[in-house]
Amino acid sequence: MTPAALLLDIDGTLVDSREAVEATWRLVAAEFGADPEPILAVCHGRRDDDVIPEFFAPAVAATVAARITELETAYLPLVRPVPGADEVLAGWRPRPWAAVTSGPRTLMRGRLAAAGLPVPPVLVTAEDVARGKPDPEGFLLASAALGVAPADCVVVEDSPAGVAAGKAAGGYVVAIVTTHGVTDLAGADEVIGGWQEFRWVRSRSARPSAASGGRRRPPAPR
């Protein structure tokens, strides 16, 4: 069965921003005397406002946040589309879809533009939620804005926090292996190695990737 809507993450799912994200956090960590490796292990898929308090003192939190915004904007030229994302969006539209991201609105619109991808009709960003992923609030807001039940949506995510949020919202979660490995994404209903394996919109010539770990595909959402 075809889902009623797609709810898509942006970073790591539609756009490959890993180089920009990691360069930003490494430089910020160096400037403020933090170890970047623990930050990089947990920052993907989460709001900066939720990550910063875990690694930086309250006295510098606002300065760190401002520096992150400055660097991420400067690194927009490093952003590119995740392979196959443009074909999937072209094949899905004009059916309902939304993006649910942990990033700020201005930056996310900039990253989509840098990757040559469209801005969705519904865009839920860090500013729109009181609780970031893994809380399901963002996905619940998106499905409500589209007028569809979460259980009738396919959520596509690349991070453990995003997978947990999509599952908590009640969606059918497909995890794409870009920023994390198969084991880290085990909470998803389905794991794919790339957009070429996305079974609701894909080319006839697509072949399964070894990165998916050969997991059996569960039935589509009802």
Active site residues: 9, 11
User: How far apart (Å, rounded) are the C-alpha atoms in residues 111 and 126?
Assistant: 15
DSSP-derived pairing of the beta strands 172-176 and 190-192: parallel
**3-state class of 220 per DSSP?**
coil
**H or E segment and range at residue 49:** helix 48-55
Cis peptide before 218 (omega within 30 of 0): no
DSSP notation for 170-211: T-EEEEESSSS-TGGGTTSSEEESSGGG-TTS--TT----GG
* 173: region left, alpha or beta (phi > 0 left; psi from -120 to 50 alpha): beta
Residue 183 Cα to chain centre, angstroms? 17
- Burial of 26 from C-beta contacts in 10 A (0-12 / 13-18 / 19+): middle
**Peptide bond just before 94 cis, omega within 30 deg:** yes
